[in-house]
Amino acid sequence: MKSEFNYELKPGVKVRFIQNKQFKSVQMMVSFIHELKNERELASRTLLAGILESSSAAYPNQHAITLKLAELYGATFGANTEVEGNLSLLNFVYSFVAPEYLKAGQSLLDESVDFLNQIIFHPRMENGMFKPEVFERQRTNLKTYIQGIVDNKQSEALINVQRSYFDDPIQQNTPYGTENDYQELTNQDIVAAYDQMLRRDQVQITVMGDLVLDSLKRSLSKFEFRESVRETFHEICYSQAAKNQVKVQTKAEPVQQSKLDLIYHLPIDAHQNRMFYAAVVMNALLGGSPQSLLFQNVREKASMAYYAESSYSALRSMVLIQTGIQATNHDSVLALIKEQIAALQQGDFSAEQLAKIKIELINERQRMQDSPASSLEQAVLSELLARPLDSETQQNGIQAVTKQDVVAAASQLKLQTEFFLKGEMANGNH
């Protein structure tokens, strides 16, 4: 059994406690949430997360942090950033052994909150700046990481199709910013970003596990949040109007495998309960599963793609199709993809196919329920969207989708952008 409690620790600092005995550990996530204003913030918040994760005044290096976590019976900790629609989340993720698996009367709750408090509010500073070598090391690491993303041809095609599709520069890039941003960011910039985060960001503390509410409230009150006016968000879902012209772009590179990526506008977002589930099922039928039309017809039957898959983003109202193909098959693959979409729009799929896809989606959600990390992320997203996203709600939503719903969702797909990374071998053979 699980029960949920929601309360405000301070203005703009919300707590959601999901009390359950499902896992042997207690999961905790402190999310600083900010509505992104410019693309530079992607890099500055990612760099800030890296710096805060690697040291603090009390734990001056990675080794000291590791020792402390070992002392807390193998607690785990990490910091990361993610972009959800218009919002940036800077997360401190922590898990520790649930009290029932420790000696009677022992709990790691207070020490865990104290550890996180040190990491978040007492970073390792020198003359009002982050320790220069920590700043430089994290900056270099992230530049290398971004370089790795760009060097991966599948990621390169994805970034290009996004740049072509999105009007907003924030949405065009990787969620971590660009190499150029890291080049230009200074220690002062990151200190300013840190200060703004503490003062301005909305905070969501999500705790999941077998704890007593009163002792949790007592422990969490030790966090040193400032009293300040925190920003209010307008909308988590990003949307832009569909355009009547399809943007087509080709880039030739000396690679073996070509990439053809497409973005379709789909005006169904995460707030539209029934149609949201229709879009989820429609995408799984299209290319989100090994049983999908793209997988079966483009990859298997026609043998025209190394991979062919689709993904639906309910926070950005779009469907992305990614394929790896031979350059000479470009026209045939494009025609085949459009055929699969037309089939969905015309309801040209069997009741059996629909039932199988639903079972697969439901099984996937049940598996996610068994993962503490997935359950925690789901709880945070559900809070941001102000709607239930627990496993049961999702399973019921998927189950209720009819063939007509799938057709209605597919009929709203509108091709916007096509990006072709064309493989050309050095000797001129295509």
Instruction: Say what the pLDDT of residue 424 is.
Output: 84
Q: Which helix (H) or strand (E) holds 68?
A: helix 62-71
pLDDT tens profile 368-380: 888 888 889 999 9
Rounded average pLDDT over 208-219: 95
Q: Return the number of other C-beta atoms located less than 10 Å from residue 61's C-beta.
A: 14
What is the pLDDT at residue 103? 85
pLDDT of 233 > 80? The answer is no
Q: Report pTM.
A: 0.94
Q: What was the pLDDT predicted at 100?
A: 87
Distance CA 167, CA 52 (A): 32
Q: How does pLDDT run across 113-149, given as a tens digit for each residue?
A: 999 999 999 999 999 999 999 999 999 999 999 999 8
pLDDT at position 2 is 76
Residue ranges in 122-260 assigned as alpha helix (H): 132-151, 153-165, 169-172, 179-184, 187-200, 213-220
Helix (H, G, I), strand (E, B), or coil: what is residue 421? strand
Q: What is the mean pLDDT of residues 193-200?
A: 97
Q: Is 6 helix (H, G, I), strand (E, B) or coil?
A: strand
The DSSP 8-state label assigned to residue 182 in this structure reads: H
Q: Both ends of the chain: CA-CA distance in Å?
A: 60
Half-sphere exposure of 43 (CA within 13 A, CB side): 24
Q: Look at 76-90, 187-201, 334-348, 415-429 and tell me which has the smallest mean pLDDT.
A: 415-429
Query: SS3 for 235?
Result: coil
Contact between 379 and 16 (Cβ < 8 Å): yes
What 3-state DSSP class applies to 152? coil
Average pLDDT, the chain: 94
Residues 6+ apart with CB under 8 A from 193: 41, 44, 45, 48
Positive or negative, the CA dihedral 284, 289, 292, 295 is positive
pLDDT at 131: 95
Contact 237, 270 (CB under 8 A): yes
The answer to whether the CB of 256 falls within 8 A of the CB of 425 is: yes
Spacing of C-alpha 99 from chain mean position: 30
Q: What whole-number distance in Å separates Cα of residue 183 and Cα of residue 236?
A: 29
Q: pLDDT digits over 15-60, tens only?
A: 999 999 989 999 999 999 999 999 999 999 999 999 999 999 999 9
Collapsing DSSP to helix, strand or coil, 89 comes out as strand
CA distance 14 to 270: 22
pLDDT value at residue 325: 96
3-class DSSP assignment, residue 82: strand
Handedness of CA 171, 176, 179, 184 (dihedral sign): positive
Most confident of 96-100, 148-152, 401-405: 401-405
Task: Sort 322 into a burial class: Cβ within 10 Å, 0-12 / 13-18 / 19+.
Answer: buried
Of the candidates 87, 122, 108, 124, the residue with the CA atom closest to the CA atom of residue 28:
108
Say whether pLDDT at 418 is over 80. yes
Q: What is the DSSP letter of 386?
A: T
Q: How far apart are CA 42 and CA 180, in angstroms?
A: 12
CB atoms within 10 A of CB 145: 16
Inter-residue contact 52 to 248 (CB < 8 Å): no
> pLDDT tens across 235-280, in order?
899 999 999 999 999 999 999 999 999 999 999 999 998 999 999 9
- Predicted pLDDT of residue 168: 96
Range scoring the smallest mean pLDDT among 108-117, 187-196, 324-333, 365-374: 365-374
* The pLDDT of residue 428: 44
| Residue whose C-alpha is closest to residue 177's, from 363, 380, 38 | 38
Q: In which band, very low, low, confident or very high, does the pLDDT at 425 lie, cut at 50, 70 and 90?
A: low
pLDDT for residue 430: 41
Task: Say yes or no to pLDDT of 429 above 70.
Answer: no
Q: Which two tokens stand for residue 239?
A: 């949307």
For residue 424 the two structure tokens come to: 């050309």
Which helix (H) or strand (E) segment holds residue 357: the answer is helix 351-369
Locate 334 and state its tokens. Answer: 């494009």
State the pLDDT confidence band at 178, using cuts at 50, 70 and 90.
very high
Q: How far is CA 339 from CA 102, 294, 298, 310, in A?
A: 59, 10, 10, 14
What pLDDT sits at residue 150?
83
- Contact present, 198 and 10 (Cβ < 8 Å): no
Q: Cα separation of 406 and 230, whole Å?
A: 41
pLDDT of 1: 64
- What is the widest separation between alpha-carbon atoms in the chain? 73
